[in-house]
Amino acid sequence: MNDSLPSEAPTDKRDVRIIAFYLPQFHPISENDLWWGKDFTEWTNVRKATPNFRGHYQPHIPGELGYYDLRDPGVRERQAALARQYGIHGFCYYYYWFNGKRLLERPLDDMLSSARPEFPFCVCWANENWTRRWDGRDSDILMAQQYSIDDSREFIRSLFPLFRDKRYIRVNGKPLLLIYKANLIPELARTVAMWRDECRNAGIEEIYAVAAMTSGPGSPSSHGFDAAVEFPPHGHMAELINERLTFTNRLFDGMVFNLRNYVAQLLTMPRPEFKLFRTLIPSWDNTPRQQDRGTAFVGSSPELFEYWLEQALHQTCIRHHGDERLIFINAWNEWGEGCHLEPDQRYGRGYLQAIASALAAPFVPPPMRPGLDNILAHATALKKQAAVRQIRSPRSEDDPERRPPRISVVMPAYNHERFVRMALDSVVAQTLDDLEIVVIDDGSSDGTAAILDAFVAQCTRYPVTVVHQPNEGAYAAINHGMALARGEIISIINSDDMYAPTRLAKLLSAMDEHGAGFAFSGTRFIDDEGAEFADDSSYVGQLRDDIARCKTAPNPLHELLSSNVAISTGNFCFRRDLLTTIGGFGSFRMCHDWDFILAASYLTPIRFVHESLYEYRLHQHNTFAGLRLLGHAEADHVLARFFEDIERHPAMLDPASRQTFLNAIRRRGFGGFLPAALRAA
Amino acid sequence: MAPRAALLPAPDAEQHLLAAALEAQKAGRLSEARELYQRVVASQPDNFDARHMLGVVHYQRGELELAREHVALAIRMRPLERAALKNLFLIDKALERRPVEEDISREVLPRLAPRCVAPSSPDEHERWQDADLDIVVLKAGIDTSSPELERLARWFRPRTLTLWLESGMPKQAQSTLATRIIEPTVDALPRANRVVFFGADRSPGDWFQSMNAGNTGLYCSDEPHSLLLDRIPELAREGRAPLRLFFSSATQARRIGLPGTIVGDEARSVCMPSLRIR
């Protein structure tokens, strides 16, 4: 239950709460006067910033809020109004506590005592040393942290008035508390447990503790935290681009990184084995504080930020539920580190507008697999459409009521006039007799349709059914073909691929021998001419490596966790009755096959025949350009679905295979998909 | 990636060079470090430490292919050296991110449409008619006799054209265009009201802010999406001076997915690629 104030943001239909970190260092304090000079505030650094290289965006000059003073309640009201207007749920104030001494406390205290602005908030204990270098390290310390369990107790007690405020942000009723550098706190687990006890004893719901990922990877749960939060740019591995810049400051000895490269890193990061909230930066550049030794990320823009946030929102909706749908932004006003949502003269409200736009973008839920009933109903409906034409070979017409064949070979065909006859001939050349061929011509615009019609007329060995239909996409065409299939076994083939002559005989033999309902074989990669695909690019090389690993794996399922090592639906051969439970193929762009085979693994053992009995054609123009991130997103969905009910998976039910399976899951980096009870501590 | 090496004894001169290189590398003087490592590698191709650390320096400079080549060669010398294996892993990860980054750029680029003017607007078309024009070359490694540059100039004729280069750029004697060098310190800057930037490889930086061109364009040929993503907002002055895009071909226009004008030898053509509706 979230009892903080309701956000007035009208666009957030998905209950994701966006929280922006809030720096209070915009008013003079005596300590800063002493350390940095009279009337020092963060603006002092911001004002003196200068560009260091061509195109370097510095200084950042504030927009409509000006060089404000946070002692002014009107400023705080305007900040909250702006944030609320664009869909930000609340602020996370940095809380400075040094052994009972607080710094920069006035904005927070004023906000608390005045009950204004009426805007949700939480705090993050900025528990590092204050140093002259602004980096919290041990040199030139201005104000040091000295930890003790008693001091930590006083710290949590100091937060009670905040926790009791109705505006305080809660997760499942618990006040949200962030710790900036948890690893610095000795006896961390004991301290967190003590904080929970203290809160309970004070009549406050125990805290929801979140550790910032500022000190490398590590599971926060082992220290008693509920979750972790990314804290970019900590942990970045972005590309350094100093060499590509023209420096105008000869003394500059800092580093400039490519922000897009960093976004790519974050968006493709595997799901960790603990609850992790995503954090975004609009931009980042600490040269105002560090000048010649600063670090900057270039390539930021409101458009990039909007795209990144859309992806993060999507991930958060998929990965978290209820109150735990949180996203953080670093920061609302870290002007000295060049990361601020607050308007500046260059972008105006651009970054705020990006938030509103990302929140307003439609959320497309992951595709579901259609049920068998739906597939059959859709096939019946299609049959009635004028644009759909079904023709059957004379062999099929002979005896429509005859015994169903053992195997139905289903081919979705689309614009493969050059290869489709070869594909069909490779089916006709099978050593098995008892099969039928069902081809769905998915709206081909080349000569494919005519070739198929000719094939129907010519094929005497097997019954053939060809349906010409308007284009619906590969997965829909396969579903249609499966609906028409009458065989006990369904074997798919792509219209540009080929079967080896003994393929079906060997797969069926393997299935029968091992009581398996699903089988696939090794794959040979061929080019347009049918020769072994020569280009050993990293993509093809990886596919070959995956298949090679599958040959030595104790269970093909272990390799199927990483990717569809069957390569394509065309390599699938399975019992038709699996469709009753699995349904058809979902409308994924790339991963419909992987989703299907993983679902099948719940119902039947999967056999892998090592011999390369499937010839998969790779075309030179085949490319995944533009689809890599989509692939990551789809993989996330597919794995989330597979792991949803993992305790019921046959590999988990058998004590002998359970641990091996769990190890395989973790070794491949998918521990984050396991239910909480199964995750590594 | 932190420099990782266990430097082994080498002949004195190389040992000295390696120590100096490592010191330069740790201090972030990467060009100097690279040069020193290269000197050692030149005299001792089988020196594991020099080869390995040369790869690391290339990585730090964002030269990933070179980085991979050198670290892989080092691993051939010592297949079990964990630091090198770890570094190869990091390089491979970074290489994997590059195409993803380009995918991101491809997704984001169409969102820049509001910063670009629609050439189909009659007013906009009018504004580029019959006026003097400056062309500023921002493309690295191109000379003034480039056929593409000539074609762009031909497309704009009969207007009076001046070609502006930054100092240090090559100029071919046979160029037919009046050519000048940009020298902001003596106020030698493009001053025409219409300026087309040729290529997007480098930022014009400060001198662009001083130009104050009323109508600005960008000619795109084969730039990666990421580069355009950097340059379009900059040249559009963050939306305050909408930018007109010129494309080398219809294919290029489709690839980029932003409104603009196709510059061809045949008829003057204008395109308005369909924009992504979000």
The answer, yes or no, to whether residue B219 has pLDDT greater than 50, is yes
Q: What is the mean pLDDT of residues A57-79?
A: 97
Q: Count CB neighbours of B118 within 10 A.
A: 15
* pLDDT for position B154: 84
Contacts 24+ apart (CB under 8 A), B43-50: B43/B14, B44/B10, B44/B14, B46/B77, B47/B10, B47/B14, B47/B18, B48/B8, B48/B74, B48/B77, B48/B78, B48/B81, B49/B5, B49/B6, B49/B7, B49/B8, B49/B10, B49/B18, B50/B14, B50/B18, B50/B21
Q: Reply yes or no: is the peptide bond before residue A117 cis, omega within 30 of 0.
A: yes
Lowest mean pLDDT among A188-202, A255-269, A335-349: A255-269
Quickly tell me which residue has 């799901």 as its tokens: A271
Q: What percentage of chain B carries pLDDT values higher than 70?
A: 84
Asked whether residue A383 carries a pLDDT value surpassing 60, the answer given is: yes
- Give residue A112's pLDDT band: very low, low, confident or very high (50, 70, 90): very high
* The pLDDT of residue A484: 95
Closest approach of chain A CAs to the CA of B79, in angstroms? 20
Q: Rounded distance, CA A674 to CA A653, Å?
A: 15
Contact A304 B97 (CB under 8 A): no
Q: What's residue A142's pLDDT?
A: 87
Residues 6+ apart with CB under 8 A from B116: B232, B236, B242, B243, B244, B245, B258, B259, B260
Q: Which neighbouring-strand residues pair with A284? A: A297
Is the model's pLDDT at A126 over the cut of 80? yes
Judged against a pLDDT cut of 50, whether residue A681 lies above it is answered with no
Residue pair A129/A145 in contact by the 8 Å Cβ criterion: yes
Residue B19 has pLDDT above 70, yes or no: yes
Q: Are residues B205 and A246 in contact, defined by beta-carbon separation less than 8 angstroms?
A: yes
User: Does A240 touch chain B if contact means CB atoms closer than 8 Å?
Assistant: yes
Closest to A29 measured CA to CA, from A118, A82, A96: A96
Split at pLDDT 50, 70, 90, the class of A621 is low
DSSP B87: H
pLDDT band at B144 (very low <50, low <70, confident <90, very high): confident
Please report, for residues A18, A22, A192, B246, the alpha-carbon distance to residue A202 in angstroms, rounded to integers and kept in the order given.
Answer: 29, 27, 15, 67
| Range with the largest mean pLDDT of A268-282, A593-607, B20-34 | A593-607
A208 and chain B: CB distance < 8 Å anywhere? no
Q: Return the percentage of chain A with pLDDT > 70, whole number.
A: 93
Any chain A CB within 8 A of the CB of B63?
Answer: yes
- Cβ within 8 Å, pair A306-B99: no
Q: In what helix (H) or strand (E) does residue B148 lie, and over which residues does it extend? A: helix B147-156
Minimum CA–CA partner of B30 in chain A: A243
How many other CB atoms are found less than 10 A from the CB of residue A408? 24
Residue A51: Cβ-neighbour burial (10 angstroms; 0-12, 13-18, 19+): middle
State the Cα–Cα distance between residues A597 and A494, nearest whole angstrom: 17
Residues composing chain B: 278
Distances (CA, A) of B149 to A42, A363, A426, B7: 48, 45, 53, 51
Contacts of A358 in chain B (CB under 8 A): none
**pLDDT at residue B268 above 60?**
no
Give the per-residue pLDDT at B211: 81
What per-residue confidence (pLDDT) applies to A676?
78
**Cα pseudo-dihedral B94, B98, B103, B107, rounded to 10:** 90
The pair of structure tokens assigned to A452 is 């198929």
Residue-level pLDDT at B6: 43
As a whole-number percent, the residues of chain B with pLDDT over 90 amount to: 29
pLDDT band at A399 (very low <50, low <70, confident <90, very high): low
Q: Is the pLDDT of residue A675 over 90?
A: no
Residue-wise pLDDT for A312-347, tens only, equals 998 898 888 899 999 999 999 999 999 999 999 999
The reported pLDDT for the residue numbered A51 is: 95
Mean pLDDT over B113-125 rounds to: 75
Q: Residue A32: its pLDDT value, please?
A: 93
Q: Please, which pLDDT band fits residue B124 given cuts at 50, 70 and 90?
A: low
Asked if A546 and A468 count as a contact pair (C-beta separation under 8 A), the reply is no
Question: Is-contact A453 A459, C-beta < 8 A?
Answer: no
Is pLDDT above 60 for B273?
no
* pLDDT tier, B4 (very low <50, low <70, confident <90, very high otherwise): very low
Where does the pLDDT of residue A239 fall: very low under 50, low under 70, confident under 90, or very high at 90 and above?
confident
Q: Tell me the C-alpha distance between A552 and A310, whole Å.
A: 40
pLDDT tens per residue, range A223-235: 899 999 999 999 8
The answer to whether the CB atoms of B93 and A237 lie below 8 A apart is: yes
Overall average pLDDT of the A253-273 stretch: 89
Residues 6+ positions from A454 with CB-CB distance below 8 Å: none
Q: Which of A17-26, A209-218, B91-100 has the highest mean pLDDT?
A: A17-26
**Per mean pLDDT, which of A199-203, B87-91, B212-216 is the most reliable?**
A199-203
Using CA atoms, how far apart are residues A347 and A341, in angstroms rounded to an integer? 10
pLDDT at B233 over 80: yes
Model confidence band, residue A307 (pLDDT cutoffs 50, 70, 90): very high
What does R_g of chain B's alpha carbons equal in angstroms? 24
Residue range A458-481: mean pLDDT, rounded? 94
Looking at residue A216, its pLDDT comes to: 55
Q: Which of A288, A305, A300 is nearest to A354 (CA)?
A: A305
Residue A11 pLDDT greater than 90, yes or no: no
- Quote the CA–CA distance of A668 and A649 in Å, as a whole number: 18
Closest to A168 in 3D by CA, of A58, A261, A93, A77: A93
Render pLDDT for B238-265 as a digit per residue (tens, 0 to 9): 767 789 999 988 888 888 989 888 887 5
Cβ within 8 Å, pair A628-B108: no
Distance CA A348, CA B164 (A): 32
pLDDT at site A629: 83
Which residues, including other chains, have CB under 8 Å from residue A2's CB and lie 6 or more apart? Answer: A170, A171, A173, A323
As beta bridge partners, residue A573 has A491, A519
How many Å apart are CA B38 and CA B64, to the nearest integer?
16
Question: Helix, strand, or coil here: A67?
Answer: coil
Task: For residue A604, name the pLDDT band (cuts at 50, 70, 90).
Answer: very high
CB A416 within 8 A of CB A497: no
Tokens of A123: 């705090």
Q: Residue A531: count other Cβ atoms within 10 Å of its Cβ.
A: 9
Mean pLDDT value of segment A24-51: 95
Residue A482 parent element (H or E): helix A474-484
B100 and A264: CB-CB below 8 Å?
Answer: yes
Residue A184 in contact with residue A127, Cβ under 8 Å? yes
Q: Report the C-alpha gap between B237 and B243 in whole angstroms.
A: 9
Burial status of residue A596 (CB atoms within 10 A of its CB: 0-12, 13-18, 19 or more): buried
Of A243, A246, A628, the CB nearest to B103: A628
Q: Which residue has the higher pLDDT, B27 or A266?
A: A266
Q: Quote the CA–CA distance of A344 and A363 in Å, as a whole number.
A: 30
From B183's Cα to the closest Cα of chain A, the distance in A is 15
| CB-CB contact of A354 with A33 (8 Å) | no
Q: What is the pLDDT of residue A7?
A: 37
A442 pLDDT higher than 80: yes
Asked if A628 is an interface residue toward chain B (Cβ–Cβ < 8 A), one would say yes
Q: Using a CB–CB cutoff of 8 Å, tell me whether A184 touches chain B.
A: no
Specify the DSSP element, H or E, that contains A101: strand A101-103
Residue with tokens 């009107």: A74
Contacts of A397 (CB under 8 A, 6+ apart): none
Size of interface A-B (CB pairs under 8 A): 106
pLDDT tens per residue, range B147-176: 888 888 888 877 788 999 887 776 665 667
Q: Please name the residue ranges forming H helices in A365-436.
A: 372-383, 394-398, 420-428
pLDDT on residue A628? 78
